[in-house]
Chain A
Amino acid sequence: MSTEKIKNSLKTGSDKDGYFGEYGGIAAGENLMNNLEELKKAFEAAIKDKKFLDEFAYYCKHWIGRPSPIYFAERITNKIGGAKIYFKQEHLNHTGSHKPTNTLFQVLLAKRMGKKKIICESGAGQHWSAAAATAAKFGMPIVGVMGKIDCARVNQNLIKAKHYGGKLKIVEGSLREAITAAIKEWSNNPDYYYLIGSTCSSSPFVDIVRYAQSIIGKEMREQFMELEGKLPNEIIACAGAGSNFTGSIFEFLDEPEIKKVVVEAEETAALTNGTKGIQQGMVTKFLQSDDGSKSLGGSSLGAGIMYYGISPQLAHLKDIGAIEASTANDKELLETYKLVAQNEGIGISFEPAAAVTEALKRAKGKPKDYIICATACGRVEKDLDVIERLIGKDFE
């Protein structure tokens, strides 16, 4: 690589003020500023500590089960007729999603900082069950906050997290409200470690979660080179706030020939339809009223992608044309779930169904040696009841 290329690398964290271009920053109350400064210092020191990184790598392998394999979805590929469709099988990780990589990293960081208790939010409960499992593994008490709307539809995760010893607080609403409530809990208890579940909120959280999750893309590089002898032409992943997408593409940000496509729920597509604003601790794109006093956006079957904001890093990357954004609606999520279940024997949850939906659209008619990789970031367990109720008869 030429020095010129490295100089303009996109594979960097936020700038000294925590911004990515014009997005990001810290929009937090004064009483959290010390915590955020402390966290930034601890994070920067931890990622230079070989022992810490070795420990992270050890548990990634032996506790989470990384690397998650890539898988050639051959029957779907043949059905669509076009590009080779691959899945990055993040749903095979312990607890069933990409989330435990982040919770493992941050719980180790919390331990290193000498923190004794953990607080977190969750949307789909995937972060909640992963966080509770990780906290149990390292003997740390944990409190989670989730919205009522989500609790009603992802019961499996709530049961699992309860068994791991997590204590859940339920608030009105969904992920947006859960994030606000968790930040309030943290304000009230500044000695807690706040274990955020995605690439959102104030700096340095976006960098921390991106750092942990970028293992996804690193594995993909090795795996594709081994299996195909080349890298995929397109990488597609869904986004709530954006951690599994960022983790999938970060490794390849300096390779513009690889297309990177983020897929949001059509009903809450902040990257596509949002406007710049300052909420939830960050400057980014939100679905919001013109005066910034209210959030907008509808409801998606994908609890984990039903978020009215987006990672500030992704807002920046989209502005500069480094990534593309698309959307998927509920009908598509259900159809894609069914197609994948019936043809590949894999039950993906609604969130990755958004990514696979986009992959199917893009694969059609492409050359046979064109490779599209969609990150399958969650398994279906949490959504089974909803699917059975909506389209159970389709399978009879």
Chain B
Amino acid sequence: MIAYFVACYPNFEKSLEIIKKSIDAGVNICEIGFPTQEASGEGIIIKNAHDHCLQRNVTLKDTIKLAKAVRNYNNDVGIILMGYMSNIFKYPIKNFVSDLASVDADGCLVVDAPHELREENELRNLMNKKNLSLIKLVAPTTKEERLKKLSNLFSGWVYSLNFSGISGSKSANLEDVKNMIKKIKTYTDLPVCSGFGIKTPGDAKKMTQTGCDGVIVGSSIVEYIGKNLNDTKLPKNVGNIIKTFVEELR
């Protein structure tokens, strides 16, 4: 199970507690999103969480710090930073990669950085040198010819998008997902994880029938956090929710 968290949402300490409890509950990979204003791939739920953090001046630097704290807590969990090119470019790219390596994260995923973007090439080359994975996405709109090209660039695992659209906006169609995972797997031996539109433990269970190697849950966790920002038991409760997902995936 892969869970997406918005870094420092609602604040650094609580966010760290939430991630710790999620690791205790059995999350395999933590995707830690760094907030940015544009967030062109995000639906209203994740966008609101980004805005909450931006108002509190959360930066990519804070996200790196959070990743370090998560690594200090657990040596085995996968840590992937997720976000947009804007912040990485300004960090700048070279320092971002060395910081990513120094906090012992596993890689990152950049929503708006196709391999056609020269700055993506720069990022990917530097990450490869440090044995970090730049996770690539495949969308339902990705044509076979492009998938073939992409498969040469896959690293770590493959993020398979269950629908074309922004996060949290639609539901996944099981048949479509099945076909897509099958198609991707003809081009790679790396794990293929299925994300977008997985809202409940029931959804996650259904996804296991598609042949995917993992599921990514984002909006529904972020939504729960958003609705319970001031609840002192928030980290524990998120852990419990994660547990219900993990149990369905066993």
Contacts and interface: CB of A to CB of B under 8 A. Distances in A.
A187 B41 contact: yes
B73 interface: no
A16 B72 CA distance: 45
Interface stretch (A96-104, A133-141, A273-281): A273-281
B202 interface: no
Given A280-B38, A291-B87, A33 B146 contact: yes
Interface in B92-130: 111-114, 116-119
B90 A26 contact: no
A25 B116 contact: yes
A293 interface: yes
Contacts of B166: 184, 187-188
B87 A31 contact: no
Contacts of B165: 31, 187-189
A259 to B, nearest CB: 32
Interface string B137-175: 111111100100000000000000100111001100000
B209 interface: no
A83 interface: no
B164 A31 contact: yes
A292 B111 contact: no
A86 to B, nearest CB: 39
Chain A contact surface mostly: mixed
Nearest to A203: B116
B118 A28 contact: no
Chain B contact surface mostly: loop
Given A187-B166, A188-B166, A293-B35, A29 B139 contact: yes
A28 B40 CA distance: 9
Interface residues of B, number: 43
A34 B89 contact: no
A295 B90 contact: no
B86 interface: yes
A35 B59 CA distance: 32
B170 A188 contact: yes
A183 interface: yes
Contacts of A281: 40, 112
Contacts of B91: 291-292
A269 to B, nearest CB: 19
A4 interface: no
Contact of A180 (B38, B113, B142, B161): B38
B135 to A, nearest CB: 11
What are the 4 tightest A-B residue pairs by CB atom distance, in nearest-first order?
Answer: A292-B90, A31-B139, A188-B165, A292-B86
Given A30-B137, A31-B142, 19 more contacts: A26-B116, A29-B41, A29-B112, A30-B136, A31-B140, A32-B141, A33-B139, A33-B146, A37-B146, A180-B40, A183-B40, A187-B41, A187-B165, A187-B166, A188-B169, A277-B86, A291-B87, A292-B87, A295-B38
Interface of B: 35-41, 43, 54, 59-61, 84-91, 111-114, 116-119, 136-143, 146, 161, 164-166, 169-170
